């Protein structure tokens, strides 16, 4: 990495560009003004970064888990402040605390770092167990955050046998065990020597006066000393133990080789998300695990007439560290700057105000077009995802939809910790705030919805079975396949609280089994009505529904002689559950607040758009399959039968698809790691709504769609052979309009760029009722390369195509007077059920119907409380227009 790139990484990694609204805020600097010296990143008139010393302040901090805004602990639960010192609370491999605000740059200049330390676990006195420094840490991307997660560097320190080391070089002298226990002063000095460096490591008595052991290495390559600096406790144990390993105090880093970037602090208010719905503002702020003994509350302030005014104060959730605000009678006409305030207590009881700033956007009620960004499947292969954030901001979207798998179990390294509960909660928070570290600049100024999915619940797949507990089986797969939740309900509720407490109130807040909360809801924003559902929580586990001969494992029938298409699903099988079906029936009929479009938002689509090589029993081979060249068609694949998708159970899938088309609902989903636009079929191909499955942000599971095609297959004009009419593995009818299969890009790292990673943009035109779906690679600048979308996009869908069932006739032409954009409902009188409901963008309309009738026509405006009902309308060969005055 050259020096210019590192300087850019330090600068751009901290300052993601803000969305342009009425107010431009810089919350990092505002936090900084309270938490550290607000010095500029560069001295005026100079191109050199400031080199400012760092000195720890743990002696002034109260006992707590969080190590401070200038540091990042790997893992969060393994470190803490105790009696004014930084302590590693566990003995295990590669536990680090990274310094966020200072990096070593590519400059032939000296630096020194020193710390007082004690080795607390002396039960393993040997080389390979050590405490000290890790320097020159560089990750997969030129960003200090990437270095934390994927970084490699030079280890320098003291082994538990008392020997000092610099890389592979080890001292002959040793520090005595009593000295290690009582504490030593460890000092590393780096001195440039030509194009290399001389490193000298010295261990002295705890007061730094009596030198005990020293070691020098005169052949350190210069590029080994570029990147992050961290403290490290490394005990090479196969199974880490909950024995404190080391403690540190008075850590200092100085020298001209340092670059000081104060804007890179993170916390104590990590980020905030919000929605506005029916004039109710809900905003949740995620805080660090601070000590809440002296200050349990956070406040929400807004800026009016250049003055900050407190409008709400709440008690912070003691475990989730979430401050969830609710403000009624919110005026949505203009953008309003906000800030969240928390008074951080020091060890002596003094409080220091800390802020996080953003903007509550004006609701786009008067805009002709409303634009949504869609994200899903955030594997951290590209962390910290600055390319996505920078490119996505250029669309100037009105809202954001995070569709699930905001993180994976592998994110942030170290896997997951599921017990004890307090440690499992901190494990979750570490992954969750890492997600926010990537994307907070997107939702700092834009409202967002966030749907937890299976990996957010520490499940590979989840069949919630109404919220019950998974069985206590021997293996994880057996527990998961049994249905229900593997994690304790307290943990599940906390995870949901972090991700959804800013969303509109649930339709029916009654908890499910184990007192697990629900969040399915209706978000009405800018004339778009979003129905947000939980398509995992109520779903039946296939292992309990299918016969034993199917041999279900991880959602796949392992017995290839079992034909699931011939299996008759029992009436008791659940997909969304009766409660959510009742919600959808209510939601599809609610066109208040000038609703122009209905949009369903869920984790996964109602289909299984996947193929695998014939004979493959499950999807465990997915990540090992060949990535083809562009234009290459993979032969030998067949549609899979993955019961994690909402393509199963088939009968319940058809029930939902049929209901959704009655309100011309468009569907947005994630989960599949394979971006696509597909039209559902219920009775016939293409008779129901469209779905857009968004691409993965970081694709750990590169699925594909290479269906076998016959000679008479009719693909869509000008599109690849994998488009057109198909049935999936569950016999669901689908019409494929666009798919982005993995393909080689010749970009590195290939694991990021060859797996069709990116994001979606969906634009709703309230005037002509078009829906334009865009699918962007994460590395494409949409302004510099406006035609750079994945092959097949953009896709334009007309609203009425979302109920494309072939009519049997038409009712008379309606001429509606007295209302602008009226709501039209057609009801079949024999069944007393709605055929469809839609808000028109015209005063004349000829309703299609699917039988002779008779029909009831309802024309209304629910916001004006005006309605006209006409009954007994039938299909006739010759019909005069009907004038309806409301």
Q: Are residues 305 and 166 in the same domain?
A: no
Q: Are residues 816 and 730 in the same domain?
A: no
The domain boundary, picked from 264, 288, 308, lies at 264
Distance CA 493, CA 361 (A): 29
**In the structure, what pLDDT confidence band is assigned to residue 206 with cuts at 50, 70 and 90?**
confident
Residue 293: give its domain's CATH number.
2.60.40.10
Q: Are residues 646 and 691 in the same domain?
A: yes
The pLDDT score that the predictor gives to residue 207 is 80
Q: What is the mean pLDDT of the chain?
A: 93
What token pair was written down for 280?
């109710």
Output b/e per residue, 378-402; b: 16+ Cβ within 10 A: bbbbbbbbbbbbebbbebebbbbbb
Assess contact for 726 and 339: CB atoms under 8 A.
no
The pLDDT score that the predictor gives to residue 49 is 63
Residue 204: give its domain's CATH number.
2.60.120.200
Residue 436 has what DSSP assignment? Answer: H
Mean pLDDT over 667-690 rounds to 97
The phi, psi pair for 580, rounded to 5°, reads -75, -30
Residue 12 pLDDT greater than 80, yes or no: no
Q: Are residues 290 and 247 in the same domain?
A: no
CA dihedral 114, 116, 121, 126 (to 10 degrees): 40
Ramachandran bin of 206, using left for φ above 0, alpha for ψ from -120 to 50, beta for the remaining angles: alpha
Distance CA 60, CA 85 (A): 9
Mean pLDDT over 657-679 rounds to 98
The pLDDT score that the predictor gives to residue 127 is 78
What token pair was written down for 254?
């100085």
Assess contact for 101 and 261: CB atoms under 8 A.
yes
User: What is this structure's pTM?
Assistant: 0.94
Q: Are residues 316 and 380 in the same domain?
A: no
**143: helix, coil or strand?**
coil
What token pair was written down for 149?
């997660």
Distance CA 428, CA 307 (A): 37
Residue 703 pLDDT greater than 70, yes or no: yes
Mean pLDDT over 270-295 rounds to 96
Q: Are residues 712 and 582 in the same domain?
A: yes
Assess contact for 247 and 85: CB atoms under 8 A.
yes
Describe the chain by its helix, strand, coil percentages, rounded to 5.
20, 35, 50
Q: What is the pLDDT of residues 614-639, one digit of tens each?
A: 999 999 999 999 999 999 999 999 99
| CA dihedral sign of residues 622, 626, 717, 771 | positive
Q: Are residues 712 and 858 in the same domain?
A: no
The pLDDT score that the predictor gives to residue 126 is 80
Range name among 475-479, 569-573, 690-694 with the lowest pLDDT average? 475-479
Output b/e per residue, 818-843; b: 16+ Cβ within 10 A: ebebbbbbbbbeeeeebbbbbbbbee
Residue percentage of the chain with pLDDT more than 70: 94
Q: What is the pLDDT of residues 412-456, one digit of tens each?
A: 999 999 999 999 999 999 999 999 999 999 999 999 999 999 999
The domain boundary, picked from 803, 833, 858, lies at 803
Residue 29 pLDDT greater than 80, yes or no: no
Residue 40 pLDDT greater than 60, yes or no: no
Residue 454 has what DSSP assignment? Answer: T
Assess contact for 173 and 161: CB atoms under 8 A.
no
Range name among 36-45, 195-204, 373-382, 692-701 with the lowest pLDDT average? 36-45
Residue 852: give its domain's CATH number.
2.60.40
Q: Which residue in this structure is represented by tokens 């905001």? A: 406
Mean pLDDT over 820-833 rounds to 95
**In the structure, what pLDDT confidence band is assigned to residue 349 with cuts at 50, 70 and 90?**
confident
**What's the total number of domains in the chain?**
4
**242: helix, coil or strand?**
coil
Mean pLDDT over 377-383 rounds to 96
Assess contact for 726 and 359: CB atoms under 8 A.
no
Q: Are residues 600 and 743 in the same domain?
A: yes
Q: Are residues 344 and 409 in the same domain?
A: no
The pLDDT score that the predictor gives to residue 483 is 95
Residue 41 pLDDT greater than 60, yes or no: no
Q: Are residues 180 and 288 in the same domain?
A: no
Mean pLDDT over 192-219 rounds to 93
Q: What is the pLDDT of residues 570-602, one digit of tens each?
A: 999 999 999 999 999 999 999 999 999 999 999
Classify residue 866 as exposed, middle or buried by CB count within 10 Å of its CB (0-12, 13-18, 19+). middle
Q: What is the pLDDT of residues 298-326, one digit of tens each?
A: 999 999 999 999 999 999 999 999 999 99
Give the residue numbers spanning the domain of 182.
Answer: 3-264
Q: Are residues 68 and 145 in the same domain?
A: yes
Q: What is the pLDDT of residues 174-185, one digit of tens each?
A: 999 999 999 999
Q: Are residues 149 and 228 in the same domain?
A: yes
Q: What is the pLDDT of residues 502-543, one digit of tens each?
A: 999 999 999 999 999 999 999 999 999 999 999 999 999 999
**In the structure, what pLDDT confidence band is assigned to residue 877 with cuts at 50, 70 and 90?**
confident
The domain boundary, picked from 319, 337, 360, lies at 360
Residue 511: give its domain's CATH number.
3.60.21.70
In order of 161, 186, 313, 376, 785, the CA distances from 156 in angstroms are 15, 10, 47, 40, 46
CB-based contacts of 16, cutoff 8 Å, min separation 6 = 386, 389, 390, 393, 441
CA dihedral 724, 728, 731, 735 (to 10 degrees): -20
Q: Calculate Rg over the CA atoms of the chain.
A: 30
Distance CA 96, CA 380 (A): 19
Ramachandran bin of 465, using left for φ above 0, alpha for ψ from -120 to 50, beta for the remaining angles: left
């Amino acid at each position: 990495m050259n020096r210019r790139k590192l300087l850019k990484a330090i600068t751009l990694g901290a300052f993601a560009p803000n969305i342009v609204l009425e107010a431009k805020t810089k919350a990092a600097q505002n936090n900084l003004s309270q938490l550290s010296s607000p010095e500029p990143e560069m001295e005026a008139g100079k191109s050199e970064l400031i080199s400012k010393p760092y000195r720890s302040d743990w002696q002034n901090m109260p006992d707590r888990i969080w190590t401070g805004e200038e540091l990042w602990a790997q893992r969060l639960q393994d470190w803490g402040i105790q009696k004014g010192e930084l302590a590693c609370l566990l003995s295990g491999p590669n536990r680090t605390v990274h310094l966020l605000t200072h990096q070593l740059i590519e400059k032939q200049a000296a630096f020194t770092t020193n710390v007082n330390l004690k080795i607390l676990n002396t039960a393993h006195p040997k080389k390979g167990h050590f405490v000290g420094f890790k320097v020159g840490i560089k990750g997969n991307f030129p960003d200090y955050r990437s270095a934390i997660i994927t970084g490699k560097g030079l280890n320098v320190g003291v082994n538990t046998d008392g020997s000092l080391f610099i890389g592979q070089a080890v001292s002959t002298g040793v520090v005595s065990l009593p000295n290690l226990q009582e504490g030593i002063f460890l000092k590393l000095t780096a001195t440039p020597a030509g194009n290399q460096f001389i490193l000298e490591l010295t261990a002295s008595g705890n007061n730094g006066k009596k030198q005990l052991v020293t070691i020098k290495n005169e052949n350190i390559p210069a590029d080994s000393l570029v990147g992050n600096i961290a403290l490290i406790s490394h005990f090479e144990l196969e199974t880490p133990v909950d024995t404190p390993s080391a403690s540190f105090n008075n850590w200092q880093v100085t020298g001209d080789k340092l670059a000081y970037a104060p804007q890179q602090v993170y916390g104590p208010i990590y980020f905030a998300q919000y929605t506005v719905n029916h004039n109710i503002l809900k905003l949740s702020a995620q805080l660090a695990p601070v000590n809440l003994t002296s200050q349990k509350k956070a406040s929400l302030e807004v800026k009016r007439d250049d003055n900050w005014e407190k409008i709400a104060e709440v008690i912070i959730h003691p475990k989730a560290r979430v401050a969830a605000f609710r403000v009624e009678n919110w005026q949505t006409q203009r953008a309003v700057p906000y800030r969240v305030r928390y008074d951080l207590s020091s060890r002596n009881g003094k409080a220091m105000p800390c802020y996080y700033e953003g903007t509550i956007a004006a609701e786009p009620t008067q805009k002709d077009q409303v634009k949504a960004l869609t994200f899903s499947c955030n594997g951290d292969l590209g962390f910290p995802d600055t390319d996505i954030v920078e490119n996505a901001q250029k669309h100037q979207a009105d809202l954001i939809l995070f569709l699930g798998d905001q993180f994976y179990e592998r994110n942030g390294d170290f896997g997951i910790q599921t017990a004890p509960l307090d440690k499992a909660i901190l494990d979750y928070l570490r992954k969750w705030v890492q997600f926010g570290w990537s994307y907070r600049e997107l939702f700092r100024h834009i409202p967002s919805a966030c749907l937890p999915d299976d990996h957010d619940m520490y499940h590979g797949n989840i069949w919630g079975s109404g919220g019950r507990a998974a069985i206590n089986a021997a293996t994880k797969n057996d527990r998961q396949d049994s249905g229900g939740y593997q994690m304790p309900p307290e943990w599940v509720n906390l995870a949901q609280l972090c991700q959804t407490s800013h969303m509109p109130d649930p339709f029916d807040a009654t908890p499910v089994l184990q007192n697990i909360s629900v969040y399915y809801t209706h978000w009405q924003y800018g004339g778009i009505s979003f129905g947000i559902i939980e398509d995992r929580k109520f779903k039946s586990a296939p292992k309990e529904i299918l016969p034993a001969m199917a041999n279900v494992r991880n959602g796949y029938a392992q017995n290839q002689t079992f034909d699931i298409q011939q299996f008759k699903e029992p009436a008791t099988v659940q997909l969304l559950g009766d409660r959510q079906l009742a919600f959808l029936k209510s939601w599809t009929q609610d066109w208040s607040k000038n609703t122009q479009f209905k949009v369903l938002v869920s984790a996964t689509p109602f289909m299984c758009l996947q193929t695998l090589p014939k004979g493959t029993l499950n999807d465990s081979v997915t990540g090992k399959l060949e990535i083809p060249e562009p234009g290459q068609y993979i032969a030998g694949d067949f549609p899979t039968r993955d019961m994690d998708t909402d393509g199963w159970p088939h009968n319940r899938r058809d029930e939902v698809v049929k209901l959704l088309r009655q309100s011309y609902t468009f569907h947005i989903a994630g989960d599949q790691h394979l971006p696509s636009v597909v039209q559902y079929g219920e009775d016939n191909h293409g008779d129901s709504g469209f779905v857009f499955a968004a691409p993965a942000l970081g694709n750990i599971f590169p699925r594909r769609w290479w269906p076998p095609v016959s000679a008479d297959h009719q693909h869509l004009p000008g599109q690849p052979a994998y488009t057109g009419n198909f049935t999936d593995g569950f016999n669901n009818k689908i019409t494929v309009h666009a798919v982005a299969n993995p393909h080689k890009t010749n970009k590195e790292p290939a694991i990021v760029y060859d797996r069709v990673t990116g994001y979606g943009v969906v634009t709703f035109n309230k005037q002509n009722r078009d829906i334009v779906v865009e699918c962007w690679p994460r590395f494409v600048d949409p302004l510099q390369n406006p035609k750079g979308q994945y092959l097949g996009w953009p896709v334009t869908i007309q609203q009425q195509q979302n109920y494309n069932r072939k009519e049997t006739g038409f009712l008379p032409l309606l001429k509606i007077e007295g209302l602008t954009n009226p709501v039209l409902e057609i009801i079949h009188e024999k069944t007393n059920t709605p055929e469809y409901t839609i808000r028109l963008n015209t005063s004349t309309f000829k309703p299609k119907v699917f039988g002779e009738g008779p029909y009831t026509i309802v024309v209304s405006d629910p916001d004006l409380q005006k309605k006209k009902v006409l009954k007994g309308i039938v299909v006739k060969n010759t019909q005069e227009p009907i004038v309806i005055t409301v």
